[in-house]
Amino acid sequence: MTEERWAQWPKDTRPDYCITLTFKPGVERPQRLFKAAADFIESLQQLDVTLVSAIDSKIQPVFLLERIEEGSVRIWVKQFLEAVPDDSIRNLDWKPAVGQYLVDVKHVILRYLDDNKSLGTHNEFHKLTSRVYDAAAQSGALKYPAYKQIPASDMAKCMAQICESVSTLQEGERVIISNDNGDSGLDSSAIITQEQIEDLLARNTIRNSSELILMVRKPDFLGTSMWEFRHDKKTFSAKIADEQWLKEFQGGKLDIRPGHALRVLLDEDTIYGEDGDVIRADRTITKVTGVIKMNHPRLEM
């Protein structure tokens, strides 16, 4: 972006960057473009949350809308960092460095996605994480004692969300962020899937088998989706692979409703990345051994 495009803003109110959505005149379903812009902004904010967590989990990035211009849709954004940080950075002038770090990394990631159209190879992705680290160093964010490396899986998930946000853009449509350091853009040709993330990052799979009692939140009456359960105040989905039990349930022989509970044998496969972070957890019920109904406290075998 040229300096002239920023000259209209006094330095004390100047936005951190501008988001431009380019499109051809006469576009059909214009709401699609505005939704893509909103989704893109949301994906950038989630990226910021991930990035600042490397410095201090108490820092919360907030986006401020400064102006929207017509023509190609231009959204001028100012970042605000809200926090009561740890003592290690409380007395430092940390906001300018962290703000610069967040904008610089956006450029790094968008340019990578625009060049590779995917997560790329293992070596390419590790070069990207090195460039993110370099951006932290150049901005000054790296000097804070609390800075830690961002898990590769978190970075990949943020990148996948960015790609998904612009997936509805059509030919000739593109989203661009601009500031004094230049422009970086992306179109719908960049795609990241869960399979790509796992193929690139997965290093270990550990299976744990256990016997549990699970509260039913949402049964699968048609046999085409996962069941939703609650256990230890947490909600999760699981597939039931006990074909005989499923046959009886789907045939109407068993009356299972939300609020009932199942006693089950459960296999949980947890996929880990090379840095030990969890990429995904799959849960499969291999056998249902009993049903507990709300109005019948005894276990039905």
User: Tell me: the pLDDT tens digits for 64-101?
Assistant: 666 666 656 788 777 766 654 555 444 445 677 778 88
Residue 257 Cα to chain centre, angstroms: 32
Which tens digit of pLDDT belongs to each residue from 99-129? 888 889 999 999 999 999 999 998 899 899 8
278 forms beta bridges with 272
Dist. CA 276–CA 295, nearest whole Å: 44
Q: Which two tokens stand for residue 60?
A: 């919360």
What are the counts of helices (DSSP H) followed by strands (DSSP E) for the chain? 7, 11
- Predicted pLDDT at 300: 47
HSE-CB at 271 with a 13 A cutoff on CA atoms is 15
Residue 4: pLDDT over 80: no
Residue 181's CB: how many other CB atoms inside 10 A?
12
DSSP class of 258:
B
Can you list the domains of the chain with their CATH numbers? Answer: 3-192 (no CATH), 203-300 (2.40.50)
Which tens digit of pLDDT belongs to each residue from 178-206? 887 789 999 999 999 988 888 888 888 99
> Left, alpha or beta for 54 (phi > 0: left; psi -120 to 50: alpha)?
alpha
Q: What angle do CA 203, 206, 208 make, to 5 degrees?
A: 165
Residue 301: pLDDT over 70: no
Q: Which two tokens stand for residue 254?
A: 């068993």
Q: Which two tokens stand for residue 274?
A: 């090379």
Which tens digit of pLDDT belongs to each residue from 135-170? 888 877 666 555 677 888 889 999 999 999 999 998
Residue 13: pLDDT over 90: no
Residue 289: pLDDT over 90: yes
